[in-house]
């Protein structure tokens, strides 16, 4: 390297070291404020909680940006230089000047969009190559002339050719212009990003979340964002991206985890998934609830102290209709049902007890007798049991489990008999949106809520009484105190304020609070592998985001679910009509051209109208196939695993059920590996052509195929390997 380059490199290293010193100082300052806020001296519980959470977010944001804090520099034609990084840093002076531009800031955008043909008043783009806090080197792009972006291509190719790790990496240093346009798109509603394998749609969606959290911080930080992925492995894979960009107010979940307290990964048969995923299941759920609102086959006698009254079908039918007409959820409408029944029973009881001497004009006596009868009914076990039989308090799990295990209840609800199963609580992913729907149909048990509220009120009163005692004990004799000091002390020591200090601070993070609260609503939702979501899944997500701010990521050609999307408008129109925006990604940054040619032949077989994404590179390693028999397959798999263990990067074996050491293609969706071995492609193809397409497009460098029978006709372009 030239002496000029080495001198420039030393200068850049010194500058970046100064940025890290500024980061460390800012981190120390915020952590000090955070620890002080935890102490909460002189402030109320609510103020303390808000302060702790806000400072906690800042601490996390500063703690996760050490690696590659600064990754580039922009030189303007005017001579001004701007350093670009994961977060923004500022000088602590009167001007509060930026010393590091956040990559999401408007001034940083030319770093991603300026070209030789359109330099945007920029002269040079410099990209740093870093490891941890150290700058290893840099490459420059001259932007003042056409064709001056060759170094930028080199930086991109270096990134996509690098060995993969267990976790997805951010692309903040190498965002391409078509990706940047989507990330910064000024659309407040629903955005659909469609792209084939390797087009970067997932990582673009995550960077878009980071961008929105930056540009709309005040609107979003109290509610955060939700990212929904296809399986836990996928969420683990992408989980580092947003924290590496300084954003932690994001909940990651699968559709099987959308109801707090449930973690569901089991899947239904395709037919059951289709039935449960259709909006037609709503009528079944409503009918199942209505079926539990019963009329007595025979009058139910209730023996009170002086008279026996009966709950007959006529009374129950009137009460049921009034309860249904109230529009309240089932559990809350029980109060209406109960009120009508008790009204009828007490009226009848009073009429019999007072026959011959009591008239309705004797209101005081009438109401006095009613009050006593109501107390008797409230404590009557048979009356309570009758209410539980005619209008039971139900939970979503109890109702759905009893539906699945009863042919009679399935028939009464108009459900398909194929939904019958032996274990009603053997929950599947397709059951989760039904359970969530039932939360709204059933409502809460107000009795339990009222008891909890009463207990909380008693606890608050006890705290206030205790605080008052402390206040009185601390109160000094007015005659011995300066008046100003006394007033100051009293201002600080009101009993209510003192009681507030005994309330334990809620220091849970936004993620912890949102994950535990079924009714939490988010400001933005990302849905990955969205083509797999059913109509019922979408209802759950729409409840979670009333503002309808979504980034929807998917590829209809990769759909495998029988309940999934065949067209985006069919899924989205019921919620946003035509107010959604579509963008496509067409460049494949993951899959080399040699492997993509093989996958494209499979795609043409089941989706001939879909154009495969164009690979940005070739790897020079031809994909291969090998025919094996008997135990040779096991040996060949072991050889692949052993060989790849000695290489840098990641690898996976993908195959149908029954192949030892192999994972199904469905569990690798959204993931990428340096090397992939696909076992028995014909069996995968017979189950799902989309799954074979997914399997073939996971590799970034090397692809091998093992097969016992003949290769499917769709698999062309494989170099056959013969072992002797």
Residues 6+ apart with CB under 8 A from 207: 170, 171, 172, 175, 179, 183, 241, 245
Report CA-CA distances (Å) from 6 to 30, 134, 152, 593. Answer: 36, 15, 21, 37
Q: Decide if 387 contacts 292 (C-beta within 8 A).
A: no
Residues 6+ apart with CB under 8 A from 685: 602, 691, 692, 712, 714
Residues annotated within a binding site for ATP: 195-202
CA pair distance 226, 639, nearest whole angstrom: 41
Partners of 151 in beta bridges: none
| DSSP per-residue codes, 33-57 | HHHHHHHTTTS-HHHHHHHHHHHHH
Sign for the CA dihedral angle at 193, 194, 200, 201 comes to: positive
Buried/exposed code over 335-366 (b: 16+ C-beta within 10 A; e: otherwise): ebbbebbbebbbeebbeeeeeeeeeeeeeeeb
Packing angle, helices 381-390 and 330-353, rounded to 10: 140
CA pair distance 119, 142, nearest whole angstrom: 9
Q: Which of 238, 161, 56 is nearest to 590 (CA)?
A: 161
Q: Decide if 206 contacts 104 (C-beta within 8 A).
A: no
Q: Decide if 651 contacts 676 (C-beta within 8 A).
A: yes
Residues annotated within a binding site: 195-202
> Rg of the Cα trace of the chain?
33
């Amino acid at each position: 390297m030239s002496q000029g380059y080495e001198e420039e490199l030393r200068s850049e290293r010194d500058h970046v070291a100064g940025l890290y010193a500024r980061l460390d100082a800012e981190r120390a300052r915020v952590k000090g404020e955070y620890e002080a806020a935890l102490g909460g001296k002189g402030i109320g519980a609510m103020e303390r909680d808000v302060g702790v959470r806000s400072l906690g977010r800042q601490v996390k944001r500063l703690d996760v940006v050490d690696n590659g804090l600064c990754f580039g520099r922009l030189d303007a034609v005017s001579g001004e230089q701007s350093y670009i990084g994961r977060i923004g840093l500022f000088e602590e002076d009167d001007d509060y000047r930026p010393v590091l531009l956040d990559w999401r800031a408007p001034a940083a955008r030319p770093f991603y969009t300026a070209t030789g043909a359109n330099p945007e008043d920029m002269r040079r783009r410099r990209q740093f190559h870093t490891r941890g806090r150290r700058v290893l080197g840099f490459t420059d792009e001259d932007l003042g002339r056409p064709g001056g972006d060759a170094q930028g291509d080199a930086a991109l190719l270096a990134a996509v050719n690098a060995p993969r790790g267990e976790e997805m990496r951010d692309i903040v240093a190498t965002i391409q212009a078509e990706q940047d346009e989507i990330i910064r798109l000024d659309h407040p509603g629903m955005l659909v990003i469609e792209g084939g394998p390797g087009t970067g749609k997932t990582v673009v969606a995550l960077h878009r979340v980071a961008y929105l959290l930056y540009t709309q911080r005040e609107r979003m930080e109290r509610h955060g964002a939700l990212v929904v992925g296809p399986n836990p492995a996928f969420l683990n894979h992408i989980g580092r991206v947003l924290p590496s960009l300084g954003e932690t107010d994001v909940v990651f979940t699968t559709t099987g985890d959308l109801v707090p307290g449930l973690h569901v990964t089991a899947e239904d048969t395709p037919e059951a998934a289709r039935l449960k995923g259709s909006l037609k299941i709503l009528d079944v759920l409503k009918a199942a609830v209505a079926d539990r609102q019963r009329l007595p086959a025979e009058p139910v006698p209730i023996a009170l102290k002086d008279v026996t009254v009966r709950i007959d079908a006529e009374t129950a039918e009137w009460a049921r209709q009034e309860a249904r007409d109230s529009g309240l959820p089932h559990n809350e409408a029980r109060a209406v049902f109960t009120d009508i029944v008790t009204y009828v029973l007490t009226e009848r009881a009073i009429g019999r007890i007072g026959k011959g001497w009591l008239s309705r004009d004797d209101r005081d006596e009438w109401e006095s007798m009613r009050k006593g009868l109501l107390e008797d009914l409230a404590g009557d076990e048979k009356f309570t049991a009758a209410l539980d039989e005619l209008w039971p308090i139900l939970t979503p799990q109890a109702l759905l489990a009893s539906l699945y295990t009863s042919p009679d209840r399935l028939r009464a609800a108009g459900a398909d008999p194929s939904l019958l199963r032996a274990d009603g609580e053997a929950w599947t992913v397709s059951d989760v949106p039904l359970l969530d729907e039932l939360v709204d149909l059933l409502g809460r048990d107000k009795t339990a809520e009222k008891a909890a509220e009463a207990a909380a009120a008693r606890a608050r009163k006890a705290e206030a009484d205790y605080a008052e005692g402390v206040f009185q004990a601390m109160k000094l004799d007015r005659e011995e105190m300066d008046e100003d000091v006394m007033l100051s002390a009293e201002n600080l020591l009101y009993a209510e304020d003192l009681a507030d200090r005994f309330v334990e601070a809620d220091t849970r993070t936004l993620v912890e609070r949102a994950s535990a609260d079924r009714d939490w609503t988010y400001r933005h939702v990302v849905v990955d592998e969205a083509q797999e979501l059913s109509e019922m899944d979408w209802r759950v997500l729409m409840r979670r985001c009333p503002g309808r701010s979504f980034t929807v990521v998917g590829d209809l050609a990769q759909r495998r679910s029988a309940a999934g999307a065949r067209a985006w408008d069919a899924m989205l129109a019921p919620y946003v009509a035509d107010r959604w925006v579509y963008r496509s990604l067409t460049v494949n940054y993951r899959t080399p051209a040699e492997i993509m040619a093989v996958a494209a032949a499979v795609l043409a077989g089941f989706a001939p109208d879909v154009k495969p994404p164009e690979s940005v590179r070739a790897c020079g390693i031809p994909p291969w196939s090998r025919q094996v028999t008997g135990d040779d397959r096991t040996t060949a798999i072991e050889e692949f695993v052993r060989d790849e263990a000695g290489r840098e990067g990641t690898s996976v074996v993908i195959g149908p059920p029954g192949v030892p050491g192999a994972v199904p293609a469905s569990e690798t969706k959204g993931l990428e590996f340096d090397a992939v071995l696909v076992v028995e492609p014909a069996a995968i193809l017979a189950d799902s052509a989309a799954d074979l397409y997914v399997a073939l497009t996971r590799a970034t460098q090397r692809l091998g195929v093992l097969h016992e029978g003949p290769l499917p006709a769709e698999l062309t372009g494989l170099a056959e390997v013969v072992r002797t």
